[in-house]
């Protein structure tokens, strides 16, 4: 075990790098979390996200060749993207808080890399930085490291910060004094479960991704189930509903300067669902480059835009929706057809 002064210096270095919460955990097998993860996969609740099933065994223990052989500790770093009451930057559509600015992978990864490089330089340590592209059960490690507890909605909740958090890790062969794991503090509160617009929670801590708006609008490639379209509402990309109602998120957000990477991108102020439908895919790719909104690609975003207009649009949106019907093999076609029917029925009923 490294001396306490060195452990304090490492924690201070991580906080000085711009992370909002830092915790240490001793590396070992995830004897409880990993079996639950495998059961989740066996039930098919991950939907189209096949990458979640890849390297499933690697996620059990960080010490294998998949992560870092000889690893002894993991430094869990949390970055808050809470920017207060700042609303969606896109007119007529909601965008998840974390996705309103630049791609967080870029600046988050740089912070982690700098911390890992410092550990190698100062302590001669092996250190591997990880963001959410590595096969790691991040929430399990965040709980073990005392960064926060796993709420009923599956999000890590850090008292004093809330749940608008992104997680990253530095796995190292240094033996750091572990922090106390944090157990659940939700009590009898079920606001997050009750707020889900598509009833995606089967029980506390059990999310069926196939019903989740974030999954449907970002990861799912095909048409959105007709029974779930109304629940999508005006949500074009992602969903924050289960977090927005959480009492732990009533805390004051960090200073805006420390969340500058999540500041709304001014490009989105000129973009709306109908604008997405009207533009060519190459134009969308250029607009979305370097942002989280690039992940689904134009076809899924056009599908989402059509669903949003089906829920919120008026007759003035019918021309742009009808124009989608000429596109071949695009999920936006079926969504546009359904949106036209929904708007006409809604307008006729008035």
Are the C-beta atoms of 235 and 213 separated by less than 8 Å?
A: yes
Task: Verify whether residue 132 is a known catalytic residue.
Answer: yes
Q: 176 exposed, middle or buried (CB, 10 Å; 0-12, 13-18, 19+)?
A: buried
Residue with token string 């210096």: 9
Residue with token string 């190292």: 172
CA–CA dist 67, 136 (Å, integer): 9
Residue with token string 């791609």: 103
CA–CA dist 196, 214 (Å, integer): 11
CA–CA dist 189, 187 (Å, integer): 6
Residues 6+ apart with CB under 8 A from 203: none
Four-residue CA torsion sign, 86, 90, 96, 102? negative
Alpha-carbon Rg for the chain in angstroms: 22
| Coil, strand or helix at 87 | coil
| Coil, strand or helix at 124 | coil
In order, the DSSP letters of 45-68 are TTTT-GGGTTTTTGGG-TTSTTT-
Which among 48, 132, 194, 285 is annotated as catalytic? 132
Catalytic (active-site) positions: 132
């Amino acid at each position: 075990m490294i001396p306490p002064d060195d452990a304090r210096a490492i924690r201070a270095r991580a906080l000085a790098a711009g992370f909002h919460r830092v915790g240490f955990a001793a590396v070992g097998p995830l004897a409880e979390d990993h079996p639950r993860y495998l059961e989740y996969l066996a039930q098919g609740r991950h939907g189209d996200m096949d990458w979640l099933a890849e390297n499933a065994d690697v996620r059990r223990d960080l010490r294998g060749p998949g992560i870092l052989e000889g690893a002894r500790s993991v430094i869990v770093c949390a970055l808050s993207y809470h920017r207060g009451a700042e609303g969606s930057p896109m007119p007529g559509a909601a965008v998840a808080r974390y996705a309103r600015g630049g791609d967080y992978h870029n600046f988050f990864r740089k912070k982690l890399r700098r911390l890992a490089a410092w550990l190698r330089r100062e302590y001669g340590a092996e250190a591997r930085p990880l963001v959410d592209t590595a096969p790691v059960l991040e929430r399990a490690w965040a709980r073990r490291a005392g960064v926060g507890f796993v709420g009923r909605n599956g999000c890590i909740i850090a008292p004093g910060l809330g749940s608008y958090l992104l997680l990253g890790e530095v796995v190292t062969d240094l033996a750091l004094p572990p922090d106390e794991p944090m157990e659940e503090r939700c009590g009898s509160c079920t606001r997050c479960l009750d707020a889900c617009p598509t009833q995606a929670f089967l029980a506390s801590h059990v999310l069926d991704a196939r019903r989740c708006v974030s999954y449907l609008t970002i990861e799912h490639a095909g048409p959105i189930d007709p029974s779930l379209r109304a629940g999508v509402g005006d949500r074009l990309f992602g969903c924050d509903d289960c977090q927005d109602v959480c009492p732990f998120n009533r805390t004051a957000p960090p200073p805006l300067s420390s969340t500058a990477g999540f500041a709304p991108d001014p490009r989105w102020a000129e973009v709306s669902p109908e604008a997405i439908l009207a533009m060519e895919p190459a134009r969308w790719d250029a607009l979305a480059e370097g942002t989280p909104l690039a992940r689904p690609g134009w076809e899924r975003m056009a599908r989402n835009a059509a669903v949003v207009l089906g829920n919120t649009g008026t007759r003035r949106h019918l021309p742009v929706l009808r124009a989608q019907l000429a596109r071949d093999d695009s999920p936006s076609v079926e969504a546009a057809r359904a949106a036209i029917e929904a708007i006409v029925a809604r307008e006729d009923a008035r």
